[in-house]
């Protein structure tokens, strides 16, 4: 199984103390099965540039994120899937942010499972396969 990592799934491993269950799960996945979207990378850069610790966050993206995953472009086929999904969701009154839907469209296009901590948010997208590893690790966190 191959995976596309959402922004929160990547941000989790950049925390000073990431969830141990999630890190353990990540270690079971081959590097060749780990992907993210250029849209996710854009969100990571946006967050870094907005941070008072921008240089540290930018360095983490360059040295820890980009070497660890394959970044997939947002291409014409992903854009077609995005357009169809957005029209369908808007018609049903269940809109989603453009970036989230572009990330989902990239996962669908490449046949990847989306790793995210916001499963409820993405469940409304038809045809999107979701991985609950981060969500489950958050639920296992001691209070």
What is the Cβ-side half-sphere exposure of residue 59, based on CA atoms within 13 angstroms?
4
Q: How high is the pLDDT of residue 95?
A: 87
Domain range annotation of the chain: 3-140
Confidence check: pLDDT of 67 > 70: yes
Q: How high is the pLDDT of residue 10?
A: 98
Binned at pLDDT 50, 70 and 90, residue 142 comes out as: low
Confidence check: pLDDT of 61 > 70: yes
The whole-angstrom separation of Cα 119 and Cα 142 is: 20
Q: Which fold has domain 3-140?
A: Rossmann fold (3.40.50)
Query: Could you tell me the pTM of the whole model?
Result: 0.94
């Amino acid at each position: 199984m191959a995976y596309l990592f959402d922004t929160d799934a990547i941000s989790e491993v950049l925390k000073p103390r990431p969830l141990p269950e999630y890190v353990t799960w990540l270690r079971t996945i081959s590097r060749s099965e780990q992907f993210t979207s250029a849209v996710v990378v854009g969100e990571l850069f946006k967050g870094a540039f907005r941070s008072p610790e921008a240089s540290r966050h930018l360095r983490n993206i360059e040295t820890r994120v980009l070497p660890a995953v394959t970044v997939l472009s947002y291409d014409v086929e992903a854009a077609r899937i995005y357009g169809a999904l957005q029209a369908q969701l808007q018609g049903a009154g269940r809109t989603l942010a453009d970036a989230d839907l572009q990330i989902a469209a990239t996962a669908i296009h490449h046949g990847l499972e989306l790793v995210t901590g916001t499963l409820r948010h993405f469940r409304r997208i038809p045809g999107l396969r979701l991985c609950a590893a981060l969500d489950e690790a958050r639920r296992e966190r001691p209070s």
